[in-house]
């Protein structure tokens, strides 16, 4: 049986005749020294990990283990699944300790592991929520909701990683005792519930690989086989992919993170069992994701309502959810499929997620995080230092230092280079060790040099991935395509002699008897390419995205203030320019676009595009990935009305909405118009809120028109219970003298005339109805 390590994941593969199956080169055999990932791994060790450990301590996540051990009084702190965050940070520490053995980090991690071990019950059960609350009689009685197996899965992954990185068994022993306990409680003739949040399936396979204990694989297999079947239980539906047997599924549904962890676990089990029906189902679902439901950034899951999937081609930009954890799940799943099938297209998707929708989840300083990753913003969306549900910050901290485990794969006599990053690797082949040194400035430069520093005597194949973008394939489906231009010829040489490359294949393979000092040089041209979406993606109609190499770009207001009002005509020249002092060192794109102006001629503007992953690391402002190609599809710059010239502010604005929607001059069609930007006070309910206009100079005003937002039947925003209008007089707010009622009519502007006032500010104060929120689509001033 072969081994498959993703970070620390192993996979034994058995497939049909003719399939090239791979196993990963473990993270413990790879060291990165490149200018892109190595600094991020260092940042993770020095900033992200300490930040997350500290946050877990300050929010009570770690103290809960002390309470569960009977060493600290008080009640449970936080959310019932918070144990998992601690485990993920420990997993990140494990990968970091492999890269750099840090005595202080190791001592800290050992101390936390000891606190966790002390909380384990004599029978192996370990879950702080029920233990601290003295409700052990409730264990496993509500698996669809309570995340006990989800937390266990993250413990298993962390324990395996820590054992492999340090050789220490304390945490691994905790994991096996807990896994043994699960095996006594779940399975045929026992509790037939499946995990409500998948994770434990893939984690049990990891634990099986390191221990050889087959009952762990058996339990993972049971859960995969039982999902969607309903043996002595009710199905929970498509939210957690439990609506029908997995072998019969063809579409991705439900919660995005659950979906990715689910199908990753399915791939693990299918590979070990040689289950062709499970493999076929996995492939069908992958085609649905990559062909109809993936963002150009590799992000997935457009809906905030279910943190997941809706219907095919529903890929809105400003309201995109695209959870960071879901992008990490995409990386995990596509890595497994690459090894299962030996096809480069899966590594293409892995790379797309890694360089775009995944690392956007952490700031360049390492101390702020995105939970949600929209592809457009009007300036209100920002990273946060922490979240009540902190799955994303802790998931990022375990993924970053594990990147080396995704770089190489192998067979007994072949080495596959899936990701390009400077560093070294030692690969154990059947005939002996092969050692490689990789030098490159990827992803900014497409030149890669591999030097063999040791090789077995037998013939060995070196297979270098030819990324889809270098073969003029945007993604391995018709969801996106490149609009114009070609990537140029790919060049490959061995010891300076050119080797013919077939651009239709995903790998360039060279088989020979290698010796120390041999070199391979691969040159992947990196022109600036425009990406066009499938016509069924209505949100991207008449728009293009910019890509160079694996990097997707965006336009930010800090560089181009008119970012949300410009268009980029077809054929407009774009050039790539290295900017080593910007955003940690990036390549930017420069060109000239046109600004659309409402009721006026367009005007030229210099455009600067930066990597999407790096946005919101400077001054706050608007952002766009998909750029209109003509004035018809552009959002025109507002006319210089009184409202447009005002600075808008508010008491609160939901992160997916925008205060600038108040005066963007986009006309609503009805109060429930969710197709246009809006200001809402969600998720404040029944509160007093306000919206305000400020002018640089005093002006005389006598009328306002307010179009209230009300999504009755779809959401929880309603017109307000009441509202007032005030103006600033010196340092005081005074009510206007109204000439009529302050209306709250639906589907129309509510006009209010009042005695003229000269002022520098107007303010609407609202009282929201009980139990609901509210908002405004447009506020005009005359």
Residues with active-site annotation: 307, 391
Closest CA to 371 of 390, 347, 353, 350: 390
Question: Is residue 236 within 8 Å of 230, Cβ to Cβ?
Answer: no
* Cα–Cα distance for residue pair 484/528, rounded to 1 Å: 10
Length of the chain: 782
* Cα–Cα distance for residue pair 271/279, rounded to 1 Å: 8
DSSP label of 358:
I
* Cα–Cα distance for residue pair 594/602, rounded to 1 Å: 6
Sign of the torsion formed by the C-alpha atoms of 558, 659, 298 and 205: positive
With H, G, I as helix, E, B as strand and everything else as coil, classify residue 567: strand
Helix/strand/coil (H, E, C) string of 217-271? HHHHHHHHHHCCCCCCCCCCEHHHCECCCHHHCCCCCCEHHHHHHHHHHHHHHHH
Question: Is residue 704 within 8 Å of 782, Cβ to Cβ?
Answer: yes
Closest CA to 761 of 716, 731, 737: 731
Give the CA-trace dihedral at 452, 458, 463, 464, to 10 degrees: 10
DSSP per-residue string spanning 466-520: --GGGGT-SSSSSSEEE-S------EEEETTEEE---TTSSEEEEEE---TT-EE
Give the CA-trace dihedral at 545, 549, 555, 558, to 10 degrees: 170
Token pair for residue 79? 């959310």
* Cα–Cα distance for residue pair 83/469, rounded to 1 Å: 40
CB atoms within 10 A of CB 103: 8
* Cα–Cα distance for residue pair 490/737, rounded to 1 Å: 73
Number of helices and strands (H, E) in the chain?
16, 30
């Amino acid at each position: 049986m072969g081994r498959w390590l993703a970070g620390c994941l192993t996979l034994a593969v058995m497939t049909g005749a003719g399939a090239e199956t791979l196993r990963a080169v473990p993270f413990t055999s790879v060291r990165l020294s490149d200018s892109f990932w190595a600094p991020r791994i260092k940042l993770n060790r020095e900033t992200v990990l300490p930040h997350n450990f500290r946050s877990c301590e300050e929010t009570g996540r770690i103290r809960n283990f002390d309470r569960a051990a009977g060493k600290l009084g008080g009640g449970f702190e936080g959310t019932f699944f918070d144990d998992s965050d601690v485990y993920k940070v420990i997993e990140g520490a494990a990968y970091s300790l492999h890269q750099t053995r840090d005595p202080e980090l190791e001592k800290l991690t050992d101390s936390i592991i000891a606190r966790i071990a002390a909380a384990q019950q004599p029978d192996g059960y370990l879950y702080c929520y029920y233990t601290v609350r003295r409700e052990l009689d409730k264990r496993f009685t509500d698996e669809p909701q309570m995340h006990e197996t989800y937390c266990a899965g993250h413990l298993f992954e962390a324990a395996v990683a820590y054992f492999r990185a340090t050789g220490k068994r304390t945490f691994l022993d905790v994991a096996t005792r807990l896994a043994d306990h699960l095996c006594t409680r779940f399975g045929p003739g026992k509790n037939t519930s499946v995990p409500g949040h998948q994770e434990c399936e893939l984690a049990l396979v990891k634990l099986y690989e390191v221990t050889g204990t087959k009952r762990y694989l058996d339990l993972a297999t049971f859960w995969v086989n039982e999902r969607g079947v309903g043996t002595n239980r009710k199905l929970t539906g498509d939210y957690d992919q439990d609506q029908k047997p997995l072998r019969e599924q063809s579409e991705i549904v439900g919660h995005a993170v659950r979906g990715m962890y689910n199908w990753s676990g399915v791939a693990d089990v299918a590979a070990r069992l040689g289950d062709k029906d499970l493999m076929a189902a996995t492939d069908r679902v992958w085609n649905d994701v990559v062909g109809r439901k993936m963002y150009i950034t590799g992000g997935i899951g457009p809906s905030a309502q279910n943190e997941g999937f809706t219907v095919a081609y529903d890929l809105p930009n400003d309201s995109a959810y695209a959870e960071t954890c879901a992008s990490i799940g995409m990386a995990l799943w596509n890595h497994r499929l690459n090894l299962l099938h030996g096809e480069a297209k899966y590594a293409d998707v892995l790379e797309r997620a890694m360089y775009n929708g995944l690392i956007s989840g952490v700031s360049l300083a390492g101390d702020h995080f995105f939970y949600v990753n929209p592809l457009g913003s009007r300036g209100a969306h920002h990273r946060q230092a922490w979240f009540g549900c902190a799955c994303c910050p802790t998931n990022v901290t375990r993924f970053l230092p594990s990147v080396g485990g995704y770089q190489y794969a192998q067979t007994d006599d072949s080495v596959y280079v899936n990701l390009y990053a400077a560093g070294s690797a030692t690969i154990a082949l059947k005939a002996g060790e092969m050692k490689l040194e990789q030098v490159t400035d990827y992803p900014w430069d497409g030149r890669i040099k591999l030097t063999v520093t040791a090789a077995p005597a037998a013939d060995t194949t070196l297979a270098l991935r030819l990324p889809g973008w270098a073969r003029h394939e945007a993604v391995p489906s018709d969801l996106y395509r490149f609009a114009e231009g070609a990537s140029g010829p790919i060049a490959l040489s061995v010891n300076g002699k050119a080797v013919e490359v077939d651009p239709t294949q995903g790998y360039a393979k060279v088989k020979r008897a290698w010796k120390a000092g041999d070199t391979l040089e691969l040159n992947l041209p990196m022109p600036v390419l425009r990406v066009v979406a499938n016509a069924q993606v209505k949100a991207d109609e008449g728009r293009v995205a910019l890509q160079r190499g694996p990097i997707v770009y965006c336009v930010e207001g800090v560089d181009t203030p008119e970012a949300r009002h410009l268009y980029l005509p077809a054929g407009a020249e774009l050039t790539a320019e290295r900017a080593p002092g910007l955003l940690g060192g990036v390549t930017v794109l420069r060109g000239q676009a046109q600004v659309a102006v409402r009721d006026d001629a367009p005007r030229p503007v210099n455009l600067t595009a930066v990597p999407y992953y790096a946005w919101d690391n400077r001054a706050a402002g608007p952002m766009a990935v998909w750029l209109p190609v003509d004035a018809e599809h552009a959002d025109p710059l507002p006319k210089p009305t009184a409202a447009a010239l005002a600075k808008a502010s508010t008491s609160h604005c939901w992160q997916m909405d925008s205060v600038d929607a108040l005066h963007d001059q986009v006309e609503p069609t009805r109060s429930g118009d969710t197709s246009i930007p809006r200001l809402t006070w969600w998720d404040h309910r029944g509160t007093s809120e306000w919206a305000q206009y400020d002018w640089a100079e005093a002006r005389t005003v006598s009328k306002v028109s307010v179009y209230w937002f009300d999504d009755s039947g779809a959401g929880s925003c309603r017109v307000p219970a009441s509202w007032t209008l005030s103006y600033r007089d010196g340092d005081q707010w005074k009510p206007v003298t109204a000439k009529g009622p302050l209306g709250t009519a639906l589907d129309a502007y509510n006009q209010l005339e009042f005695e003229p006032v000269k002022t520098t500010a107007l303010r609407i104060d609202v009282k929201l109805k009980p139990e609901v929120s509210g908002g405004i689509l447009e506020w005009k001033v005359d």
